[in-house]
Amino acid sequence: MEIRIATRKSELALWQAKHVAGLLDELPEVSKVTLVPLSTRGDQILDKSLQKIGGKGLFIKELEVAMQAGEADIAVHSMKDVPAAMPAGFCIAAFLERASPADALVSATACGLSALPEGAVIGSSSLRRQAQLLALRPDVAVKPLRGNVTTRLGKLDDGDYQAIVLASAGLQRLGLESRISEEFGPQQMLPAAAQGVIGIECDQTRHDLRDLLAPLGHAETRMTTLAERAVALTLNANCQSPVASLAAITEGILTIDALVASTDGRRILRERSTGPSSEAESIGTQVAQRLLDQGAGELLGEAQS
């Protein structure tokens, strides 16, 4: 079987696609693997917020169109970029074992958040990161920053910002972990749903592909990802919503922490739920409902206004 992988053209996306290609090359059923690099609207429009141009789904739409047109068989994604509600006809056939879910501060002087000067300018277009940064350091200024990892680091090095926040997993995958000044713990900054997870998407009716890809999946990562994505789905959170979640499994018990924040970081609602990992999605739904009971809907409405 020949497999064509649709992927974005960024350095990190290509790393992820090549990683999946390497796994597929080891399967006896696979005779050839090729990459189909595509440019997405999310990559092309960098001067506007994702919320204004249609959300993170813009990073995957062209890849799905390529699959529908028969130009690609699968697509490889950072799962944090995949909307919680999958489009009809598609599925995630495998969730690869998760890398670090943490967020990382990269500062111009290699210092941590607490050592940044008063009023420091920190780059991030994520309201989730903005809210939690301001909760930790109300004096800093969080300014928009979009583009791929290399572009963002370049803007930091050019002096546009005194620090920026990126996903640790992306820096590690590109061999840039030495740029990390501080890795945030979940009590400091709870990550985005499925941060650090690579997902392989395919047509829901392609049972041959689904059977082929299933062994590449990691069972624990699948359950934690389903729980975290259920939070976003229940809260009707979009790409820019100040929503975070992180699940972990210990001896068959899944624990999930989730939060919703005001964009200025002055109000943070946080809840935790636990239960059997086999009930991952319902546990995620439960913790989201607790947040709604606390008033999360009001905070989310303010963030979108």
- Which positions are catalytic? 81
Give the dihedral of Cα atoms 50, 72, 16, 153; nearest 10 deg: -40
Residue whose C-alpha is closest to residue 33's, from 209, 274, 230? 209
Residue whose C-alpha is closest to residue 240's, from 103, 80, 107? 80
| H/E run at residue 20 | helix 11-25
Report the amino acid identity of residue 303. Answer: A
Strands ordered across the beta sheet of 182-183 = 141-143, 121-123, 163-167, 103-107, 182-183
Residues pairing with 253 in the sheet: 250, 276
Query: What distance in Å separates the CA atoms of residue 13 and residue 78, rounded to the nearest whole number?
Result: 8
CB 193 within 8 A of CB 228: yes
Task: Tell me the CA distances in angstroms from 55 to 35, 58, 270, 280, one per residue in order.
Answer: 25, 6, 24, 26
Strands ordered across the beta sheet of 268-276 = 243-250, 253-261, 268-276
Query: What distance in Å separates the CA atoms of residue 169 and residue 305, rounded to the nearest whole number?
Result: 31
Query: What distance in Å separates the CA atoms of residue 287 and residue 271, rounded to the nearest whole number?
Result: 6
CB 207 within 8 A of CB 178: no
Query: What distance in Å separates the CA atoms of residue 183 and residue 177, rounded to the nearest whole number?
Result: 10
